[in-house]
Structure 1
């Protein structure tokens, strides 16, 4: 059998290394799995467009050479789906539940390329032309992406690799994502059918029946695979049609039951759709795209009201993100605003659950730019309710995502524009609803900017309005009414009163929010309320209840596959475990939350994770590591131009504590002053900074002033339980050092002192 293959100029490669067994100059269409036990090839794999019949034997189409990501099924699946999407610039990120940071770091190291058959073959092909080629870390990342785009197809790799001498590797990857034009060679010793991917596909295309071609052309509009129902709705394909195309290796069935088309085949069929579909089928390619877009708009329309209620939503939506992105681009291009309206909230909720911020911002920006241009041309005009309401909604969604990314200036601009657009619309139910959302966004911005009292006022007004209005709001379900949004406002009021040091009041608001969600049976955002309530309990020292609630919230977020919620829960649980004196467990949870933050770009989650890891390093006595982590946290605020906003004080207080541990009183004083001057310094952070200043005074020998400030902190209701315990221990040490009368006078002065006056004095 091998002799027959060799005679047909087929290249065999050992699957575990990708090194050639015979005819290395030919494009590889088969690989054999090498057996160390027998020293022979015991399995052959075929990547042709139809099953290989040889001497009346059939070889199953098992797929391409191993590519980076194949070591983890979920990571490989996500990469494959992501690369099949039309937006090729979205950065790689790990799956929802497992941190793939070790895998990511391994794959993008140059030495790792030799561990995968596909990337090893790519390197071998490049080195035939450039023997001294030594890939950098960036090169390794691009090579891995190229091989994933080609799905390990050896012929594709053989045709793509020679371009490495002419184009940057990143450009090669982008070209491959865009089409087949790059995959060709002029070498004379290559059989004509292997000189380009088009030539290889042309030969196979000619063997298809007319109905098979018709279906494949239409299936090319899908991105990242499709379900049987979607294939029927868009391409009119029956189960028998799909089974036939699967048997002939034009399609493959994933373990989930979804159908997939190799990306190169999909691109080829897409070219055929544009070139010949109208002549062959009597309808335009645009009509096929219209059906695809309408199907996925309908898909989101049905799922949207269930997003926060049904746990399986994200698992249903996740595989369809490529199709949803493609459908969105199509309806924007065609000006189908009724379909845009049907998709907005669904895509927004997916973005904030999955952390798909950058991609979704780009998608929404395309719509915003088009709607702005339309208004500028006077098409519909300012005050045209449907399109202006849509513009206001898109700006609201963009603003909220920008806050999550720490882009507060852009969020402010989105908010202002949204309110300005709404002002030009005649009063009505839809305008009132959108105004409610946008004012809530204003309150969220004020929270980030440290204007807690103003945010509290706005939230209170919104809650009062919701409790008295009959206007329908999202999710527009009669039995829910305004209760879902009321629960959001109660939770926000709890968050704000916590930050203001009103810990009992905060618990009341948060428990009310949780009661409403339990009444509604809504669990995804219930996890947020549980985490926030746990934060309040952690502040006042009720650690057992805090841990219990946080673990419950983590379980809910995992059940809903809420990736960002999972990250928040890991961070909250880590903080509780750290307070409980369990640093090893806390470390692992902070690492999990950091992975989510880095891969999604979620700024607040990044800060919480870095600060938490910094605190753990400080407790271990690793001052260099602690300083680096806190400095990285602080620098992220400065890079975004948002120094002084929410959670900034925590980072600089950490830097102050590192300076204290080093005995650098001057630097410590500067950092604690910086924290006290931060406009978003929270109640307990003020107490932490004052306690830090007290230690500076003690270090410099002013023990009386230190005792006064420590007494203020120990006495004040804002002080966190952990800080109070630490301060009481420091006071006990000072009491042993100072004369009794001096200590008594100093502590009495501290207990009587007003916090605002002390903060103003210390920050000066």
Structure 2
């Protein structure tokens, strides 16, 4: 379990999730994981524990100690801070836990390492010394791998005896730091001019692309042509060529920059820092724009330069640069994609302290950043309040910023299940953006509005309008060469295909997105792709594939601290387990999903999981009261949300079933009526009815035409055999003159009631059939 990039708060949860994936079992909590480890010999490696917050670390260590005592399992921990300050992990005096500091390489390993480096350029002037000579040299630096790497370069150009004598003298100067002595040994081989220029490299964080390095240091071409080969030959820098990038990335030896920085005067440091901040701000602007067209390249450069970018943006905030907030916005764009939530949150906290005049650009950027982070963590109402205040300050004049805030307000409402209100904001945003001069940036913003509106229309069941909006957005993406946008829209079209039952198309689109998300190193997109693939496999009843996909999604979401997303995936895992007969696991997953959704105040997901758990428990007669209580709790939540997004008819239908089983027929009948009315009112029901358009029209025609009725009868008789008994009985009652919808629909479920409703509307007004028949054609 690698915690190097862990962004969540539940380190134990990530460990359980990782174990579940590796062992291929349902492991919902620590107890389940402990039981599984009792059956499987396992070495648990908890890696990079120094990154965890104190409370998360203590919780993980307590559980890990318990796991280490199960069966024959063993536990290995790695950390740069070996004292965990935990009673079960004593540093000394115990054989249960042993702290083993990493020392230098063994003799043979060190020799093999040097031999491998000897094969690399540059070609050696001297031959490789004998073993004993090498070992005497290596002992001076305690066989430290980083020191050995530097010595290997020096051995190629200096006699081993001379090298050993000089190294020993340098170690006397820095007795507690043989690595520094090795570095100084390499530096002293440079000429006087090179050593004078070299300290400027101290401003960089581990390396830099060559063009950035030259712009910041202001080395002349001739100076750099002399300095670079010397640095390469001594092993102090290592060039890495990047496909599609003109300049190489120059990776520094880990000790180089810190040593060099200390050799600069405060005045020289200040000048370098100012140039460093400005250059990396300019790079962030370039990458932000380029990410739309060439995300692979932009992400690669951003990842390579991320240490410099973060160092520079922190410096810009501290220095109060006028462009600091735009710098933060550009960097957060990539931190979000890379899943580096802790770094993003730290920047946001710094931004919150920046003051600016209300209505100013500085104020706008700061407030927008605050609202976006509130939105990301599920604090929708607070985010909406922030965006509302920004909108008031912007006034009525159409602007890019005006449209941007309208989109964000739409997202706040959509995530709260208020689809109709969200759609209004997106339509307002589109109206505003159409009044602006149509630059690529404006078209990109229009694209966002179209996409968000399409999402809302999909949730509301307006599938045709949604596809039209997605395709309009896709056209804009292609026009402005927004590669990532094309990927996102294809994913949305995949979701639309899934809703419409086109599983092959949905799987194909999600598989493409999965591949691209892994190439882009975008964990959020990868988690969504796995979740959506799980939905495809679940619908196809490929249960093992569905469970595997959901587990992978949940593990990524937990590692990113996305408990809202994880709760949705846990709910799907519960459904899969219910369908495969794993009753105990299913209930546990449902309860975990409810708890996770409540922790993020996701009302819609809480209601969905409550409803699902209720439906699961109603099949156990002794638990009917509990099932009803859960269903009523879910209904109370859904009544505060948009009925279409919440699919409230499912709650009414479930409560009808439960109250029927409890013998409360009057209440059951009332719930069934409410369910029918809500389902008929749902715009997506019209789409579902298209496949029955010919049947509906035929029944309407048969009401007053005996010949048509005679032709229809064999079809109805055959459909009885296919499980349409209740629907066919209702249709025959219609043909015999019954028009009371409650009487006709009382025994019907699912789409049957809307079919009868459509038939009755068609009898009253045949024009209502046109939409169904035209679409069918």
Which of the five TM-score ranges fits, normalised by the shorter chain?
0.5 to 0.7
For residues 694 and 515 of structure 1, the distance between their equivalents in structure 2, rounded to whole angstroms, comes to 46
Deviation at 1:325, TM superposition (A): 0.6
Asked if residue 226 in structure 1 is aligned to residue 208 in structure 2, the reply is yes
Aligned to 1:40: none
Q: What SS does the corresponding residue of 1:226 show, helix, strand or coil?
A: strand
Deviation at 1:224, TM superposition (A): 4.2
Aligned to 1:243: 229
For residues 331 and 725 of structure 2, the distance between their equivalents in structure 1, rounded to whole angstroms, comes to 57
Asked if the contact 1:463–1:486 (Cα under 8 Å) also holds between the matched residues in 2, the reply is yes
Q: 1:359 to 1:446 in 2, by over 3 A?
A: same
Asked if residue 670 in structure 1 is aligned to residue 622 in structure 2, the reply is no
Asked if the contact 2:531–2:549 (Cα under 8 Å) also holds between the matched residues in 1, the reply is yes
Deviation at 1:508, TM superposition (A): 3.0
Q: C-alpha offsets along residues 225-268 of structure 1, whole Å, 9 cap, x if unaligned?
A: 32222322223372542332233233345686633335455433
Q: 1:336 aligns with which of 299, 303, 321?
A: 321
Aligned to 2:425: 458
For residues 602 and 413 of structure 2, the distance between their equivalents in structure 1, rounded to whole angstroms, comes to 14
Asked if the contact 1:657–1:692 (Cα under 8 Å) also holds between the matched residues in 2, the reply is yes
Asked if the contact 1:579–1:722 (Cα under 8 Å) also holds between the matched residues in 2, the reply is no
For residues 318 and 571 of structure 2, the distance between their equivalents in structure 1, rounded to whole angstroms, comes to 44
Q: 1:680 to 1:224 in 2, by over 3 A?
A: farther
Q: How does 1:581-596 map to 2 (within 5 A)?
A: 581-596=541-556
Asked if the contact 1:527–1:554 (Cα under 8 Å) also holds between the matched residues in 2, the reply is no
For residues 207 and 100 of structure 1, the distance between their equivalents in structure 2, rounded to whole angstroms, comes to 54
Aligned to 1:442: 409
Asked if residue 653 in structure 1 is aligned to residue 620 in structure 2, the reply is no
Q: C-alpha offsets along residues 131-156 of structure 1, whole Å, 9 cap, x if unaligned?
A: 327559xx99xx99xx9xxxx99999
Asked if residue 315 in structure 1 is aligned to residue 297 in structure 2, the reply is no
Aligned to 2:29: none
Asked if the contact 1:225–1:259 (Cα under 8 Å) also holds between the matched residues in 2, the reply is yes
Asked if the contact 1:650–1:685 (Cα under 8 Å) also holds between the matched residues in 2, the reply is no
Q: What SS does the corresponding residue of 2:295 show, helix, strand or coil?
A: coil
For residues 90 and 261 of structure 1, the distance between their equivalents in structure 2, rounded to whole angstroms, comes to 35
Q: C-alpha offsets along residues 549-574 of structure 1, whole Å, 9 cap, x if unaligned?
A: 33344445455444322222221222
- Cα RMSD of the aligned pairs, angstroms, is 5.1
Deviation at 1:114, TM superposition (A): 8.4
Residue ranges of structure 2 left out of the alignment (5+ in a row): 23-41, 48-63, 106-112, 114-137, 145-170, 243-247, 692-719, 734-741, 758-777
Q: How does 1:14-413 map to 2 (within 5 A)?
A: 106-108=45-47, 130-132=92-94, 135=97, 193-196=174-177, 200=181, 204=185, 207=188, 209=190, 210-235=192-217, 236=219, 238=224, 240-253=226-239, 258-273=249-264, 277=265, 284-312=268-296, 313-338=298-323, 340-341=325-326, 343-369=327-353, 371-372=354-355, 375=356, 381-383=357-359, 388-408=360-380, 410-412=382-384
Residue ranges of structure 1 left out of the alignment (5+ in a row): 1-67, 70-74, 160-189, 376-380, 473-477, 755-764
Q: What SS does the corresponding residue of 1:482 show, helix, strand or coil?
A: helix
For residues 604 and 99 of structure 1, the distance between their equivalents in structure 2, rounded to whole angstroms, comes to 21
For residues 567 and 414 of structure 1, the distance between their equivalents in structure 2, rounded to whole angstroms, comes to 29
Q: What SS does the corresponding residue of 1:566 show, helix, strand or coil?
A: helix
For residues 311 and 255 of structure 2, the distance between their equivalents in structure 1, rounded to whole angstroms, comes to 17
Q: 1:354 to 1:737 in 2, by over 3 A?
A: same
Deviation at 1:622, TM superposition (A): 2.1
Q: 1:733 to 1:314 in 2, by over 3 A?
A: farther
For residues 241 and 442 of structure 2, the distance between their equivalents in structure 1, rounded to whole angstroms, comes to 41
Q: 1:615 to 1:229 in 2, by over 3 A?
A: same
For residues 730 and 289 of structure 1, the distance between their equivalents in structure 2, rounded to whole angstroms, comes to 77
Number of residue pairs aligned between Structure 1 and Structure 2: 593
For residues 555 and 197 of structure 1, the distance between their equivalents in structure 2, rounded to whole angstroms, comes to 45
Deviation at 1:439, TM superposition (A): 2.1
Q: 1:202 to 1:533 in 2, by over 3 A?
A: closer
Deviation at 1:197, TM superposition (A): 6.6
For residues 140 and 470 of structure 2, the distance between their equivalents in structure 1, rounded to whole angstroms, comes to 59
Asked if the contact 1:448–1:680 (Cα under 8 Å) also holds between the matched residues in 2, the reply is no
Q: 1:238 to 1:667 in 2, by over 3 A?
A: farther
Q: What SS does the corresponding residue of 1:307 show, helix, strand or coil?
A: helix
Deviation at 1:607, TM superposition (A): 2.9
Deviation at 1:445, TM superposition (A): 0.8
For residues 584 and 635 of structure 1, the distance between their equivalents in structure 2, rounded to whole angstroms, comes to 25
